[in-house]
Amino acid sequence: MSDQKLFVLMDRSQEWYADIIANHLEEAQKVVDDILSEAEENRDGCLVTPTKGPRKVRFLGHQDRAYRFVFCILTRLAATRDQVVRHRCHNRRCVNPRHLEEGSRGDNVRDESDRQANGVDFNLI
C-alpha cells in the first residue's frame, strides 16, 4: 500500500465554517446566542431580526447571512456556497433554527413557487 495523501478541495465558505467548527465553536455559539436573543418572535413563530432585510454577521474576518450562520453552527455543517439554507417559513429575516433546513438552489426555487401557489403552511413549522 502506498503513502498517498488525499487532498480535499473546499470552497472559501466551507473552509471558513470548517475552521469555525474545529477551532472557534464556543465563540461562534456565543454569537448565535446573541443573534437568537436579539430576535423577536412573531405570531408565526419566526424569530425575526430587527433589520430591514436578512441580518448579516461578521466572524473571523468573513461575513454571511445570520440565518445561515445560525444553521451551520448549530448543525455543525461546513456548508459550501452551493448549499442553501432554506426557510420553511419563507421569512428571510427569521433565524429560528426550527424554521431552517439545508437544501439546494433548485429546492429553494421550488419552495418559492410552492409558496406563491399555496402560501405558507405554518402547521409544518
Q: What pLDDT sits at residue 81? A: 85
d(CA 32, CA 79): 16
Please report whether residue 1 resides in a domain.
no
Domain range for 65? 12-124
Please report whether residue 31 resides in a domain.
yes
d(CA 47, CA 7): 40
Q: What pLDDT sits at residue 123? A: 62
Whether the CB-CB separation of 56 and 68 falls below 8 Å is answered with: no
Question: Which spans in the chain are helix H?
Answer: 12-23, 25-38, 66-75, 105-118
**Which among 12, 125, 20 is positioned nearest to 72, based on CA atoms?**
20
Q: How many structural domains compose the chain?
A: 1
d(CA 49, CA 117): 26
Inter-axis angle of helices 12-23 and 66-75, to 10 degrees? Answer: 50
- Which is more confident, 86 or 33? 33
User: If you search the block for the grid coordinates 433554527, which residue do you land on?
Assistant: 97
Per-residue pLDDT for 1 more than 60?
Answer: no
Please report whether residue 3 resides in a domain.
no
Please report whether residue 41 resides in a domain.
yes
Please report whether residue 87 resides in a domain.
yes
pLDDT one-digit tens code per residue, 5-56: 666 677 889 999 999 999 999 999 999 999 999 999 999 999 999 999 999 9
Please report whether residue 82 resides in a domain.
yes
Please report whether residue 5 resides in a domain.
no
Please report whether residue 72 resides in a domain.
yes
pTM of the complete model:
0.84
